[in-house]
Structure 1
Amino acid sequence: MMATAAASGSPPIPSEVAPQTRSGGALRKIDRALGIIIAVPTAVLVIVEVFVLLGGVASRYVFHHPIIWSDELASTLFLWLAMLGSAIALHRSEHMRMTALVGMLSPPMRATLDVVAIVAGLSFLLLILPSAYDFAADELPVTTPAMEISDAWRATALPVGFAVMTAVGVVRLLAVGNWRHVMGALIVTAVMVGGLCLQQPTLENLGNLNLLIFFVGIVACLVFAGVPIAFAFGLATFGYQALTTQTPIVVVVGRIEEGISNLILLSVPLFVFLGLLIEMTGMARAMINFLASLLAHVRGGLSYVLIGAMYLVSGISGSKAADMAAIAPALFPEMKARGSKPGELVALLSATGAQTETIPPSLVLITIGSVTGVSIAALFTGGLLPGIVVGAILCVVVWRRNRSEDLSHVSRASMREIGRTFVIALPAIALPFIIRGAVIEGVATATEVSTIGIAYAALAGLLIYRRFDWQRIYPMLVETAALSGAILLIIGAATGMAWSLTQSGFSRDLARAMAGLPGGVPTFLLVSIAAFVVLGSVLEGIPAVVLFGPLLFPIARQVGVHEVHYAMVIILAMGVGLFAPPFGVGYYAACAISKVHPDEGLKPIAGYIVALLIGLLLVAFVPWISIGFL
């Protein structure tokens, strides 16, 4: 599966690299202290970002006197939050990585590849750190327009963040008990780097064949070996630029910074924190209880509740795993009591994960808007109906599989009980619609509306649901920073890779090839679906979008496909790949949340995958579903 930020707190050094020497205790103390030093200021940054943006919204809409420097300050703090959050993710071993193949290997081989992942990450950090320092130094003379301070205050986040991650990586490497693994990983890395350096004269004459070597061959080897995706992208881009072009690496650092610091992406940590608030305050459970009162008495009723609940909460947390974790524990015990098999449950949970990928305020939608220039308000509007259409097709599968369910022991909820659960759930149900409506109607941007949602959820938890555990706030802030940092570092690295592909002329070649496909729009859509199903299973949604979105969206416009329609098609295609076994990493996340062995869901999920593909094709060839309400 793909490891992501999923737990609060700061776990100790992973067991695979746990110290086996007398210095192990000292290393653990250093590791723990390093985690605290990183986590505390980053948690404070999340809080400050919320208040800065909420203050900007209030000054503009309530007091009609906008604070002109609020966005600039938020942007500066955001880059620091992203870089320190990446360091937290590294410290917690929560950077996104493909471990499906690694997990099939023997324990000694897995341990070796874990060390290789550490060494590969360290290699990238050590290679990029000098250029990151040069980039920050170049920003010293630049003065920001609103606050009138040196832009180096913002740019310094890059070298500091990379330096902190380097320190974390060194501690991890020193903590490895088996030095044979360390030496083996160092030798393998040195041989690969040295071999590529020796071949530099040859590589310089290969032209665009280098794209296959670095961005297909090397990236694939690193990703499938379990190296975190961000570092795999970064190493491939660094190697390509350093060995085959004359471009200074400081330019690549600039592209990484550009990818991370897009102000639209500031909504990523804010929506992550909002999702955690919804779970903590009991708002998610209130929604589920209301849907269950309506449907629990019909055959397959709780399966319909699962589909509806995932639709309501999806996209708000910023993590599909978090969406599933908010819903599954509340529903699965009762579903099992009614006779549902564990494999069926995890299969449906995975299918709903894929179905709800287009539901706003999905971070994939926000990412597409940031890297392609497509209106986020239009994407939010276009994403609602495709999720309903695919969900309806999943409901058909549920109906067929539950026609013989025994409901003799299930009583129908009274109108009074339904009304009571509705009143309790109403503030929670209203939140997703407030968020989506505010963006669609232009009341607030996607970034600003997330702070409104946070304030709303906090007040609802304190005043209405009376569930607000203050002790959980700090772990939630750290978890927010870790997940956001992991996502944003991938976006930065993928932006650098996408820029390299564009500079090479690959985008023009790809445009000509895609535009020249026989069959026009239908063929283009089918090829895109096939490509993004594969990309979704390997890279997950956000990295694939950042890497290929800027290349393919102009081609879609050229062949006559509406950009919002195309966005829905590729997002659903990536969702199918993400949750389809054996390589779909989202499927394994669903298994982990459900505590079900992956083998149990393989047979039941087949029917749901077919339903998802039917829904995907329907959305692809009926554009009105995506753009009918624009």
Structure 2
Amino acid sequence: MTSPGIAPAQDFVPGEPSVALTETEGARRGSRLLRPLEMIASALLVAIVVLLFAGVVSRYVFSLPVVWIDEVASLCFLWLAMLGSAIAVDRNEHLRLTLFLNMIPGRWRDLVEAFAALVVAVFLAGLIPSAFDYASEEWFITTPALNIPNTFRVSAIPFGMVTMLGIVLAYAARNSRWRDLALAALVLAAIGFALWLWSPGLVRMGQGKIVIFLVIFVAVALAAGVPIAFCFGIGTLTYLAFATRVPVFVMIGRMDEGMSSLILLSVPVFVLLGCILDATGMGKAIVDFLASLLGHVRAGMSYVLLGSLFVVSGISGSKVSDMATVAPALFPEMKRRGHSPREMIALLATGAAMADTVPPSIVLIVLGSVAGVSIAGLFTSGFAIAMVLLLMLAVLARWKCRHESLEGVRRAPLGVIGRTMLVAGPALVLPFLIRWTVADGIATATEVSTVAVLYALLIGILVYGGIGWRSFYAMLVETAALTGAILLILGTALAMAWAITQAGIAQQVASFMTGLPGGSFAFLALSIVVFLVLGCFLEGLPAIVLMAPLMFPIAKGLGINDIHYSMVVVTAMNIGLMTPPVGVGFYLACKIGGVSPDEALGAIWPYLVALFAGLVVIAAVPWFSTAFL
């Protein structure tokens, strides 16, 4: 069975799923023509870190807030997002679904790949004129602090789109057969002509046109292996162009809004933090300490794996980084004690789902941004929710290990525990530093990411051997690419969510859900089902951006606490993310652990049931989400 999932693809359009690239692999995939853009993106990322930290120091230490810092950081951020998107296209790192593509025979797959590449090109070509118009119009809007035209910031959008279009066309010409390209172009031209011909009728059509453009078109593009961001984009673009009288120009504004929120500034910085965690060995130090403390008890290594995911997630904010740090350190010893590889993968995958609410969670940051929920409150609640899920998994792991062989296993001497604690101590401080800095008002939830990065760099240099300049530059480029991929999804998803809202769907959904018998309990149950299903097919960020504007106002109207509802939907989405045969996270865990998905498929269900039981408890008892706010 070929592993389906959302992943970087070989040869630009779909291919074998894989986890995050290593530095060497990523650098090898990037073309030399884009090296200047990689250097600029790296410099922008460093500038954002420096600016945000300077803001913390000037405000907290000297009580002199610098008003222009946010504007400069915002300018750098949008350019980082668009340059990163182009780098991600060049390095094949945009997220896509490959489940259905892998089922297509090789010859037909080549045609579908050519079709997917041209869909991306059509989307970019269709938006570029509006992007230039948008940048031109913004010349008349000046920023309040720097008093410069906003065009300097939003010019990043047309520049990034033109760059991506050039990369896509060059790739298609180089790697696809001309016959496949010609046939795919004919198909797209026929679809475009038919839409133009039927456009007057489509404009007058009722809500059915939403199904055609924002469900069927998006689903077909997703199945063909078009990257998720471009799936949302092509659905919204065709809907606006052929089924409404709204100018396409509006879509650029919505994308700008989706990618430019200051709250999202912490996303690239926390991604960089995860890279530093891996490179310095801080994560491994934590794992070694927990292993020395708990490794001698029955199910001890399972506890260590879950505990490591819990703690490491509180540093990196990335599920892939968490799993890649923990699995290599623990799996050899777990195998020696009789744990089967399939059980280890099941525990790794569900443990990563459990830990995704531990701050700094990128999903929580994005959720707070799009739903208007306090990120500090989400961070506080996330610890308690993760503890509930951790307890559920730990109980199941203990029962699973009731026959574990402990022959030859001895309690670690106090000296060993002390040494590993001394080494892990500086790393263990980091999650508490993040929480304390936000809770005490020293830094905002956005700024705390820079404090964590600079602390990790300093500790990495002084305690863990440091990071070479070449490795650090590779981290910056990888962070820029991943940031671009994430933010382009957010931009196109927000544009799609806006189109759905403008069509009146939100009001109809709200009317339907508020009319359900059972009130808030029925709504919570339905929300769980919706986010479980979305989590299976979409990575967490696009699912959140699409649904949060629709669901959160309804929840608020029913009297459901924002933080409680956030914890319910994020947990449901994470369970879906790890649920085979579609769940993306399950295949990432298999890839990291080197186990066939077929082998691990049967083992994960009891762990998913344990997580679902925890979800039911979280949904039924709001106290777990709100007690520590």
TM-score normalised by length of structure 2 = 0.95
Does 2:461 match 1:462?
yes
| Post-superposition CA distance 1:213-249 (Å, at most 9, x none) | 1111111111122111100100111111111111111
Query: Which residue of the partner structure matches residue 21 of structure 2?
Result: 7
CA contact (8 A) 1:118 1:173 kept: yes
Q: For residues 418 and 354 of structure 1, what CA distance do their matches in structure 2 show?
A: 29
Structure 1 residue runs without a partner (length 5+): 15-27
Question: 1:467 Cα shift?
Answer: 3.4
Question: 1:10 Cα shift?
Answer: 7.6
Does 2:605 match 1:603?
no
Does 2:283 match 1:267?
no
Question: 1:599 Cα shift?
Answer: 0.5
Q: 1:159 to 1:535 in 2, by over 3 A?
A: same
Q: For residues 238 and 177 of structure 1, what CA distance do their matches in structure 2 show?
A: 25
Letter in 2 for 1:2: I
Letter in 2 for 1:7: L
Query: Which residue of the partner structure matches residue 344 of structure 2?
Result: 345
Q: 1:356 to 1:445 in 2, by over 3 A?
A: same
Letter in 2 for 1:130: P
CA contact (8 A) 1:233 1:494 kept: yes
Query: Which residue of the partner structure matches residue 42 of structure 2?
Result: 43
Q: For residues 59 and 121 of structure 1, what CA distance do their matches in structure 2 show?
A: 44
Query: Which residue of the partner structure matches residue 108 of structure 2?
Result: 109
Q: For residues 561 and 43 of structure 1, what CA distance do their matches in structure 2 show?
A: 42
- After superposition, residues 130-169 of structure 1 pair within 5 angstroms as 130-169=129-168
Query: Which residue of the partner structure matches residue 497 of structure 1?
Result: 496
Q: For residues 82 and 555 of structure 2, what CA distance do their matches in structure 1 show?
A: 34
CA contact (8 A) 1:8 1:475 kept: no
Aligned with 1:146: secondary structure?
Answer: coil
Q: For residues 211 and 71 of structure 1, what CA distance do their matches in structure 2 show?
A: 37
Query: Which residue of the partner structure matches residue 255 of structure 1?
Result: 254
Query: Which residue of the partner structure matches residue 12 of structure 2?
Result: none
Q: For residues 110 and 522 of structure 2, what CA distance do their matches in structure 1 show?
A: 44
Q: For residues 547 and 471 of structure 1, what CA distance do their matches in structure 2 show?
A: 38
TM-score normalised by length of structure 1 = 0.95
| Post-superposition CA distance 1:470-497 (Å, at most 9, x none) | 3210110011011111010000001101
Letter in 2 for 1:501: I
Identity of aligned residues (%): 48
Q: For residues 466 and 150 of structure 2, what CA distance do their matches in structure 1 show?
A: 42
- After superposition, residues 450-489 of structure 1 pair within 5 angstroms as 450-489=449-488
Q: For residues 128 and 554 of structure 1, what CA distance do their matches in structure 2 show?
A: 31
Q: For residues 476 and 13 of structure 1, what CA distance do their matches in structure 2 show?
A: 10
Q: For residues 361 and 591 of structure 2, what CA distance do their matches in structure 1 show?
A: 22
Q: 1:121 to 1:304 in 2, by over 3 A?
A: same
Aligned with 1:57: secondary structure?
Answer: helix
Letter in 2 for 1:6: A
Question: 1:128 Cα shift?
Answer: 0.5
Does 2:239 match 1:235?
no
Letter in 1 for 2:21: A
Question: 1:315 Cα shift?
Answer: 5.6
CA contact (8 A) 2:457 2:466 kept: no
CA contact (8 A) 1:100 1:585 kept: no
Question: 1:116 Cα shift?
Answer: 2.1
Aligned with 2:359: secondary structure?
Answer: coil
Query: Which residue of the partner structure matches residue 324 of structure 1?
Result: 323
- After superposition, residues 325-474 of structure 1 pair within 5 angstroms as 325-474=324-473
Question: 1:11 Cα shift?
Answer: 5.5
Q: 1:454 to 1:495 in 2, by over 3 A?
A: same
Query: Which residue of the partner structure matches residue 23 of structure 1?
Result: none
Query: Which residue of the partner structure matches residue 123 of structure 2?
Result: 124
CA contact (8 A) 1:13 1:172 kept: no
Q: For residues 556 and 436 of structure 2, what CA distance do their matches in structure 1 show?
A: 27
| Post-superposition CA distance 1:540-585 (Å, at most 9, x none) | 2111111110111010011111110000000000001101100101
Query: Which residue of the partner structure matches residue 533 of structure 1?
Result: 532
Q: 1:9 to 1:38 in 2, by over 3 A?
A: farther
| Post-superposition CA distance 1:450-487 (Å, at most 9, x none) | 11001100110111222323321011001101111101
CA contact (8 A) 1:82 1:260 kept: yes
- After superposition, residues 167-246 of structure 1 pair within 5 angstroms as 167-246=166-245
| Post-superposition CA distance 1:505-543 (Å, at most 9, x none) | 111111111111111121111100000000011112111
Aligned with 1:427: secondary structure?
Answer: helix
Q: 1:535 to 1:454 in 2, by over 3 A?
A: same
Question: 1:12 Cα shift?
Answer: 8.6
Q: For residues 271 and 211 of structure 1, what CA distance do their matches in structure 2 show?
A: 36
Q: For residues 319 and 101 of structure 1, what CA distance do their matches in structure 2 show?
A: 26
Letter in 2 for 1:81: L
Letter in 2 for 1:209: G
Query: Which residue of the partner structure matches residue 571 of structure 2?
Result: 572
The count of aligned residue pairs is 615
